[in-house]
Every structure is written in C-alpha cells, then in structure tokens.
Chains A and B, each alone.
Chain A
C-alpha cells in the first residue's frame, strides 16, 4: 500500500511541476489533469471515495474542459521567453525554499507522521451505507447553514461574471 502512496504522490507532484514548467498553456493544462488524477488516487487510498471521484469528475472533467476551451478560444500561443532579474529570482527562491524548510521542520517536530500525535476523529457514522449517503445527509442536515451561504456566494459569482463580461471592452 505504501508503495502506491509514493507512486501517486510522485505523480501529483510531477503534474504540478509540469504546470509551471511547460511554456505551452495546453500542455500545462494537461499536466494539471495528471496532478489531479494523482490526488484523486490518494483520496481513494484514504477511503474517501466520494472526494476522489469528485476530484476526477469535477476538476479533471468539468473544470479542465473549461480551461482548455478558454485557452483554445483565446488562441493563446506559447508563452514568450521571459527574463527575470537576479534579485527577483533570488527573493522568489528564498521564499520558496524557506516555506519548504518551514513545512519540513514542522512535519518533523510535530511528528504528525505518527498516528499517536493526532487526536482521534470519529468517522462518518452508520455502517452499511455509502459515504455519499453520509456526506449528503450531513450537508443537508447539520451543515445546512453554510450550504445556504454558499448559495448566496454562487449568486454573487454569477452576477459578477455577467457584469464583467457583458459587453466587449473597447
């Protein structure tokens, strides 16, 4: 099992690196799908089947189609060769490496790799039902209030998209 974890984690990271490394936006977008597939596999390994499937359906499916559609519509060519000043490269690497070092330090010191370091969390209750069933039940009973706010959020986003894209900018 642990072998598969490393396999899919490596897949997700390689996909992520591909997104920033490739110059062609279409290649970047496809690297992102690879990364999402790796993540979905990791979720499934954690018995979170619904999240894993949603990751594939929503992200790798719907959202990436939209991405590629827009890239094709806008007819974006390969990114031009950009040069960055030495100072900018330096500060960006300091920030990146610093954050990586911080996360590593925290992971080592907090010992979250060991099960004992973390509190027990109750799983989704009730045997014999799928986790889709449990999540759906929770969302529309216990979590009804945040779901309502999400409704307003989506309304605002819809109105915003209409407002910002109504007519051609001249």
Chain B
C-alpha cells in the first residue's frame, strides 16, 4: 500500500462518520466516536507497513515520505486518537453547550460532527508532515486551521468558546496573510516553490540576501504564531481556555507538532548559506529567550488549570526553539556523535505528546463530572480519585522534567545541544525556565495530594470509562518507559 493512501483512508473514515451521523438511526452517537478510534488505531498500525518508495511523478515534488514525515504522521494519528477518546468522555458537556434541544430532534444532535471533524484535521496534519512544496504546505495548513476555527467555537452556547473562536479566526487569518506574503517573497527571490530547489537556489551565488531574509522574517512570524512563540503568543491563553477541552489538547499537541515540522523544513532551506545561517540563528535565539522567559514566568501566577497548561505550552515551545536556535554552525561542528537538531526537536515533541495528552485526558474526565477548571478545585482530589491523581502526577512530573520520566530526557537533549553550541545566554534562560516549571507543575501535584478540599467543593469519586482508563495507563507506562530507556523513541526519531 502506498504511503499517500493513509490520508485517503483517514478522510474516508471521516466521511463514513459524517454519513453515519446523517443517515444511520443511532441511539447513542458515541458509537461514531468509537468507530473513529478503531479506524485510527488501524491507520497507526498501517504507518509501519506502508510502501514508501517514491517515483519521478510530479506528485513527489509535493509530498515526501522520509522518516521525519512518518514520525510526524504518527504524532498526528496518535493525537487525534486520544482527542477522540477525550471527546467521547466530554460528550455530556458538548451536548449541553451546543444546540438547544428541539421537539423531535435527536437528544445528542451536534455530537456527530464533533467526532468527525478531528479526522479531517488529522488528514491535514498528516499532509503537513509530508509537505515539501510551498503550495502543499499552504493548503494542508489551511485545512488544519479552518477545521480548528470550527472546533474551537464548537460550544456555541458558551460565550468563552465563541470568543475564543473569533479571536483564533482573526489572528489565524492575519498569520496566514504573513505566511502567503513570505511565500511570495521566497518565490520571487528563488523562482521556485519546491523546497529542495529553493534550498539549492539559496546557496547559489548572487542570491538576493535581503529579499531572502525578509521572506524568512514573514514566514517566521506565521510559524511563530502557529507554535505559540513569544511575542506571537497572546492568542494562546484565551483560545486554550475558551475552547472545548479535547480541542485544547488537539491544538496544544497536534497543531504545535505540525507547526514545528514546517518550521524546521523552512529553516532548513537557509542552512546551506553561511551568511543567512548566522542571521537566522540570531533571530531564533532571541525568540527562544523571550519565549522561555515569558512562557515560564507567566505560568507562575495562573489559577486556572487550562490557562496554566496554555502558558506551559508556550514554555515548551521555548525549549523547542532553544533546540532550533542551537543549529550547529561550521565553527563549532563536533564529531558525528551529537544528535541532530531535527532528532532533538522530534524527541521532545514525542515526549510532549505523551505528557500533555495525559494531563488533558485527566482534565477532561474531571471536567465532564464537575464544572471546575481552577486549580483550587483539584485540592485533595487524591483522596476521592487516587487513580486520576496518580495519572496527573505522572504527567506533571514529566512536564517539569523530573528524572525517570520521558520529559527529563527531552529537556536533557535540548540542554546538551545548546551546551555543545556554546549558547550560554540561552542555556541560562532555559535553566531559569525549567526551575520555574518545577514550581508551577509540582504546585498542582502538591495541591492534589497534600491539601484538603475546600469547603463544599469536594470532588466526588469519578467513574472513568474503560477506554480512557486503558489509555491513561498506557500513557503513564510510556512516560516511565521513555524515562528509563529512551532508546526506542530515539530509534523512531531516527
């Protein structure tokens, strides 16, 4: 089976789910969600067996099937899978906050699309992972963004969700404008839209360096918006807080991972030209420093858990940018044993997927039974729900980067890279950020286990659905396994 069949299958499953929602007489529409989950498990399995040989046809100018694209396709499928599981557990909230029930209408009206739209987003993310042409980058990115506009505003009876949707729409459209303007400049300077051709042209003598750098600045603005780097992060807290919780998880992992692969592919264009590399590393360093400092310090005073995770996602973007800013330059090129920037970023994103999705999964389960999203409502939750509290503890420990968790190795590789490239200021900011992280992540853990619940805010014992429980156990196991033996994930990263 050729590799591009994967996206076709994902779109096909999405269409099937839409059709079932419209025409089948289902009593419980959550069955549609489970169909999506099963389909995505099958697609995840197929990722390892597809035929990745390319040919001369023009198709392969738009699409690549190298190890990196396969890894990011895996991230997209896995994220969508867990997001669907969350959406199934979240369905009481979705039903309550979408359309007003009408006479004769299905009591779960509006649930089917909430399960099928993520499938199309997933296909878009997978196309982004493979995109090697400015046109395919653009159309794949737009597929993802447009489906996110809808999903973010999905809880229409919730003013916060609508506000988040409008903010995301306006700022997203603006960043798309920057992206297209940057692509136009890049095409104007090189006369090509195919990434490998652009890279060759940028290395050639007589390239218009001012124009090429301006193109990078515009593209960087758009990419920084997508991955949530300071100063283009203002939308993140509001949108993350307002969006339905499963969608927040989707934005925070899927959208960020796909943003980073495009970011890496575009940055890689400039790496062949010594003059341009210096300038770009400087800009990336400044961006990384700002993101690390602002993301971590702004997370400290947060009292809403979703908002805290939003700033945490900005902070993690900072660590990822720190790796990207430590691109080996010729002066400090060391022996072949150090990891490449691409592998470090991919490893970090793989680890980030595990721990962030675990946190959101626990949060979704708790949110579906209570209405609280503030950190104080998690106080003493370990007494009534020891399993959920333990799962959240694993996730927080890994996000903070405590040894024996996969998050520790993620941070370790980033710091090692920055150390090898002698990026001292960046390293100092990273250490400050990691220390702040210890405080705000473990604050939640301490509140769950050590403090007693507030008066009248006791969280009842919550029944976790078997699928979500299995998923949580698997994620916890993966976090610990990756923390003891990172070689498996490293092998996948390539």
Question: Are A155 and B150 touching (Cβ within 8 A)?
Answer: no
Give residues 77-129 of A contacting B (CB, 8 Å).
102, 106, 109-112, 117-121
With a CB–CB cut-off of 8 A, which chain A residues contact B135? 143, 146
With a CB–CB cut-off of 8 A, which chain B residues contact A106? 210-211, 214
Instruction: Identify which of A31-39, A42-50, A57-65, A159-167 touches chain B.
Output: A159-167
**Smallest distance from the beta carbon of B378 to chain A beta carbons, Å?**
32
Question: Are A164 and B208 touching (Cβ within 8 A)?
Answer: no
Question: Are A163 and B113 touching (Cβ within 8 A)?
Answer: yes
Q: Considering the chains assembled together, what is the distance between the CA atoms of A65 and B114 in angstroms?
A: 31
Question: Are B62 and A145 touching (Cβ within 8 A)?
Answer: yes
CB contact between B150 and one of A144, A146, A159 (< 8 Å): that residue? A159
Say yes or no: is B201 at the interface (Cβ < 8 Å to chain A).
yes
**Smallest distance from the beta carbon of A52 to chain B beta carbons, Å?**
17
Say yes or no: is B147 at the interface (Cβ < 8 Å to chain A).
yes
Question: Are B139 and A149 touching (Cβ within 8 A)?
Answer: yes
Count A/B pairs, Cβ under 8 Å. Answer: 95
With a CB–CB cut-off of 8 A, which chain A residues contact B138? 146
Report which B residues bind A (CB closer than 8 A). 11, 18, 58-59, 62-63, 99-100, 102, 110, 113, 116-117, 120-121, 123-124, 127, 133, 135-136, 138-140, 142-143, 146-147, 149-150, 153-154, 156-157, 188-191, 201, 208, 210-211, 214
Q: Considering the chains assembled together, what is the distance between the CA atoms of A121 and B184 in angstroms?
A: 13
CB contact between B156 and one of A118, A144, A164 (< 8 Å): that residue? A164
Question: Are B100 and A121 touching (Cβ within 8 A)?
Answer: no
For the residues of A in contact with B, the DSSP-based class is helix
Say yes or no: is A169 at the interface (Cβ < 8 Å to chain B).
yes
Contact A157:B100 (CB < 8 A) given known A117-B208, A143-B135: no
CB contact between A146 and one of B136, B154, B190 (< 8 Å): that residue? B136
With a CB–CB cut-off of 8 A, which chain B residues contact A170? 100, 157
Q: Considering the chains assembled together, what is the distance between the CA atoms of A115 and B37 in angstroms?
A: 55
Q: Considering the chains assembled together, what is the distance between the CA atoms of A110 and B142 in angstroms?
A: 30
Contact A160:B59 (CB < 8 A) given known A106-B210, A118-B208, A145-B136: no
5 contacts between A and B (CB under 8 A): A106-B211, A110-B208, A146-B136, A149-B139, A150-B139
Contact A156:B117 (CB < 8 A) given known A145-B63, A170-B157: yes
**Smallest distance from the beta carbon of A5 to chain B beta carbons, Å?**
18
CB contact between B210 and one of A109, A118, A146, A160 (< 8 Å): that residue? A109
Say yes or no: is A153 at the interface (Cβ < 8 Å to chain B).
yes
Report which A residues bind B (CB closer than 8 A). 102, 106, 109-112, 117-121, 141-146, 149-150, 152-153, 155-157, 159-160, 162-164, 166-170
Q: Considering the chains assembled together, what is the distance between the CA atoms of A110 and B212 in angstroms?
A: 9
Contact A157:B146 (CB < 8 A) given known A121-B191, A167-B102: yes
Not counting A106-B214, A145-B62, a sample of 12 additional A-B residue pairs whose C-beta atoms are within 8 angstroms of each other reads: A118-B188, A118-B189, A146-B133, A149-B140, A150-B139, A159-B150, A160-B147, A162-B113, A163-B150, A163-B154, A164-B156, A170-B157
Question: Are A153 and B142 touching (Cβ within 8 A)?
Answer: yes
With a CB–CB cut-off of 8 A, which chain A residues contact B18? 159
Q: Considering the chains assembled together, what is the distance between the CA atoms of A145 and B59 in angstroms?
A: 7
With a CB–CB cut-off of 8 A, which chain B residues contact A163? 110, 113, 117, 150, 154
B102, B124, B143, B157 — most chain A CB neighbours (10 Å): B143
| In the complex, residue of chain B having the shortest beta-carbon distance to the beta carbon of A159 | B113
4 interchain residue pairs of minimum CB distance: A160-B150, A110-B210, A119-B191, A110-B211
**Smallest distance from the beta carbon of B280 to chain A beta carbons, Å?**
16
Contact A153:B214 (CB < 8 A) given known A119-B189, A159-B18, A169-B156: no
